[in-house]
Amino acid sequence: GAVVSQHPSWVICKSGTSVKIECRSLDFQATTMFWYRQFPKQSLMLMATSNEGSKATYEQGVEKDKFLINHASLTLSTLTVTSAHPEDSSFYICSARGTGGIGELFFGEGSRLTVL
Amino acid sequence: AQSVTQPDIHITVSEGASLELRCNYSYGATPYLFWYVQSPGQGLQLLLKYFSGDTLVQGIKGFEAEFKRSQSSFNLRKPSVHWSDAAEYFCAVGARNTGTASKLTFGTGTRLQVTL
């Protein structure tokens, strides 16, 4: 089956620094990837849609300058949390759209960000 | 816009007992329907999906779900729960009018606890 990998799985950083999270589709090419944010004991909230070779599409209320998304290749999308603050602490999950059928989603393992 | 309701926030069942997790959706037509499972600190794993055809769908780990159009429901069932099934379960809806199942709306999740 399709495999999506995220790195790092967890990261701790100081307030004001930037953190980059990678999302890779390991055995298929993903023209579209999605970034979700999950608060403790809550559901997943879609942050943005990442399309290879073009700008990401952000959901309403998501700061595009705070959460920079780059999808430079068919197997890699990155989310950079810039000037991180404690309120950015969360679980970030990426997913990649499969190429077959109707393009169902395959999810990464998630990345837990803690900002001190 | 579509929406998903999972009425049960937390369910506890004994190992070996049957399980039913409820999911109701709101959508103008027949949506794509999914059930995902999330273990603590992990990403999402697809249990099963409904696109069309037989309304009773079989998934992995012995789970099944039945799409009932008249009730706008897609409840997840398992005849005998194992302790390893303890996790968070998410129902999700994808809009058919997008042409793909990519942009999903998730329910708030149901946390399953299994007692021995």
In the block, tokens 């990649």 appear at A96
In three-state secondary structure terms, A86 is: helix
What pLDDT does B99 receive?
Answer: 55
CA-closest candidate to residue B80, choices B18, B30, B25: B18
Taking only residues 26 to 55 of chain A, the set having a beta carbon closer than 8 angstroms to any beta carbon of chain B reads: 32, 34, 41-44, 46, 49
Mean pLDDT, residues B56-70 taken together: 95
8-state DSSP, A59: P
Q: Give the CA angle between residues A43, A47, A53 to the nearest 5°.
A: 140
Higher pLDDT, B104 or A2: B104
A98 has a pLDDT exceeding 80: no
Of the candidates B90, B102, B111, which has its C-beta nearest A32's C-beta? B102
Of the candidate ranges A2-11, A16-25, A75-84, the one whose mean pLDDT is the lowest: A2-11
pLDDT tens, position by position, B37-61 = 998 878 889 999 998 889 999 999 9
Average pLDDT across chain B, whole number: 90
Say whether pLDDT at A108 is over 70: yes
- Whole-number average pLDDT of chain A: 90
Q: Tell me if A93 and B106 make a contact (CB, 8 A cut-off).
A: no
The b-or-e profile of A9-37 (16+ CB within 10 A means b, else e) is: eebebeeeeebebbbbbeebebbbbbbbb
- Neighbouring CB atoms inside 10 A of A68's CB total 16
Q: What is the pLDDT of residue B96?
A: 67
